[in-house]
A and B are shown apart, each in its own frame.
Chain A
Amino acid sequence: MDYNFHWRPVFKTLPDLLESAILTVEVAVLSMVLGILFGLALSLIRIHMTGPLKWFAVSWIELARNTPALLQLFFFGFGLGAFGIHFSPFLIVLMGLTFNNSGYLAENFRGGFNAIPDTQIRASLSLGMNSFQTYTRIIIPQVLRIVYHPMTNQMVWAVLMSSLGMLVGFRELSGETQFFASKTYRIFEYFAATAVIYYVLVKIILGAAKLMALRLFKY
């Protein structure tokens, strides 16, 4: 093997890589926040409603979970582009990831809702709380605890999946890496460095999630 490692270009462009890593985290976090909101709505619709709304929610969940994430991203990028609807690469990735996260999280939430006994709802109503108060104060806080760990998995998944963004022209961590790698031909070095950055990012997120769990769930 006569390959000579050249790490210098990597170190020189490390600030650029880290900056793009921030973009990665940004799109992942946003897609999770939106995914949690949509996921909650989808699971509640799926549990409580009938008719077109339910049909819509079930279709969303089924498509998000049973088609490749890359295709979902391409749909928001090139698919809608065919109809003259164009979004920035950031928005394409955000919409793709949000669509995917919402579908997976909705099913997690559904499991969470089913795990809360009906009697909690009755007890809450019997105190004079309305349905909205019952859900926001009593049911959803308990559901969030039940689905917290699956939710952190999804968060990690979102960070890693955002790398698909480079295929729709989004210069997040992988896109940026690809750009420099082809510019300098130090392909191995760049992707090795990026792998380390992803690894550290995920570890930081998991650590933060653990700390947050300690603060949130004292019971």
Chain B
Amino acid sequence: MIKISNLYKSYDDLEVLKGINLNVSKGEVLSVIGSSGSGKSTLLYCINGLEPIQQGQIIVDDIDVHASDTNLNSVRQNMGMVFQQWNSFPHLTVLENVALAPRIVSKLPKAQALEIAEKQLRHVGLGDKLSKYPSALSGGQQQRLAIARALAMEPKCMLFDEATSALDPELVGEVLDTIRLLAEEGMTMICVTHEMGFAREVSDRVAFFHEGVIEEINQPEELFGAPKSVYLQKFLSKVKK
């Protein structure tokens, strides 16, 4: 589904990703953990083509994302992305937020777009907020709105960039529940997260990033239970405190 080989990415002189090789198969949930600045979020931006890369290849669903003849807009339709700052569109109602892309990108008739939007909003538990504006929603609700908005494009995979780290602690649960629901439904996902409990419970595999490389990648039981890398051991002991 997602094949990343020998990926290098830098911002000017700063090397952020230094040779990433990673395969994510269909239906797999991969969590990415690591300290700030280790390149986790950058990886997602590169997969979605929001950041150019210097070297290597990212293939999503048999399409080379960074090839010069690739239409990024159509690649992105197959990938849903949810950001740390939930980025709801403040000038549109909840329903319009979700229906906009199906209407103007997928070119669906208005009625059908609204139908899909309503279905996805019910899916994430916002069925009673359709005509509200995002400003009337809590952070957790806005993040679920962002998830519904991405799902409405019927993506083949979802990328979560620290979807819960800007939320108040009491709102984290509802968003994680929604992501968990997607995992159960078999959605292919890459979740950059600081929620170790969540990563351990939901993921098929967990990757630990350290200074731009994948230091360790394994099934959650092994990775958390018996970490081999010294850096990972240090990271986990800090997180547990």
| Closest partner residue, chain B, to A216 (CB atom) | B91
| Closest partner residue, chain B, to A122 (CB atom) | B50
| Closest partner residue, chain A, to B132 (CB atom) | A219
Within 8 A of B (CB), among A82-137: 117, 119-120, 122-130, 133, 137
Given known A-B contacts A117-B85, A141-B91, A142-B91, A127 and B105 have beta carbons under 8 A apart: yes
Instruction: Say yes or no for A218: interface residue by CB 8 A criterion.
Output: yes
Q: Which of A119, A137, A145 contacts B104 (CB 8 A)?
A: A137
- Distance of A184 Cα from B69 Cα, bound (Å): 75
Within 8 A of A (CB), among B118-142: 133-135
Q: Which of B83, B87, B100, B146 contacts A137 (CB 8 A)?
A: B100
Q: How far is the CB of A200 from chain B (nearest CB, A)?
A: 33
Instruction: Say yes or no for A138: interface residue by CB 8 A criterion.
Output: yes
Contacts of A122 in B (CB 8 A): 50, 83, 87
- Distance of A104 Cα from B85 Cα, bound (Å): 33
* Dominant secondary structure at the A interface: helix
Q: How far is the CB of B8 from chain A (nearest CB, A)?
A: 22
**Do residues B105 and A145 form an inter-chain contact, with CB atoms below 8 A?**
no
- Distance of A145 Cα from B92 Cα, bound (Å): 13
**Do residues A126 and B48 form an inter-chain contact, with CB atoms below 8 A?**
yes
Contacts of A219 in B (CB 8 A): 90-91, 133-135
Q: Range of interface residues on chain A? A: 20 to 34
Please, how many residues of chain B have a CB less than 8 angstroms from a CB on the other chain?
28
**Do residues B104 and A133 form an inter-chain contact, with CB atoms below 8 A?**
yes
Q: How far is the CB of A113 from chain B (nearest CB, A)?
A: 15
**Do residues B101 and A128 form an inter-chain contact, with CB atoms below 8 A?**
yes
- Distance of A57 Cα from B77 Cα, bound (Å): 35
**Do residues A125 and B50 form an inter-chain contact, with CB atoms below 8 A?**
yes
**Do residues B73 and A119 form an inter-chain contact, with CB atoms below 8 A?**
no
Contacts of A138 in B (CB 8 A): 89
Q: How far is the CB of A147 from chain B (nearest CB, A)?
A: 14
- Distance of A141 Cα from B92 Cα, bound (Å): 10
- Distance of A142 Cα from B76 Cα, bound (Å): 24
- In the A-B complex, the 8 residue pairs with the closest CB atoms: A123-B87, A128-B77, A219-B133, A126-B81, A127-B101, A128-B105, A128-B76, A141-B91
Q: Taking beta carbons and an 8 Å cutoff, which residues of B are in contact with A?
A: 48, 50, 72-74, 76-77, 79-81, 83, 85, 87, 89-91, 100-101, 104-106, 133-135, 146, 149-150, 153
Q: Using A125-B76, A142-B90 as known contacts, list a sample of 19 further A-B pairs with CB atoms less than 8 Å apart, ordered by residue number in A.
A: A117-B85, A120-B87, A120-B89, A122-B50, A125-B73, A126-B80, A126-B150, A127-B77, A127-B101, A128-B73, A128-B74, A128-B105, A128-B106, A128-B153, A142-B89, A217-B91, A218-B133, A219-B134, A219-B135
7 contacts between A and B (CB under 8 A): A117-B85, A119-B83, A119-B85, A122-B87, A125-B72, A126-B76, A130-B73
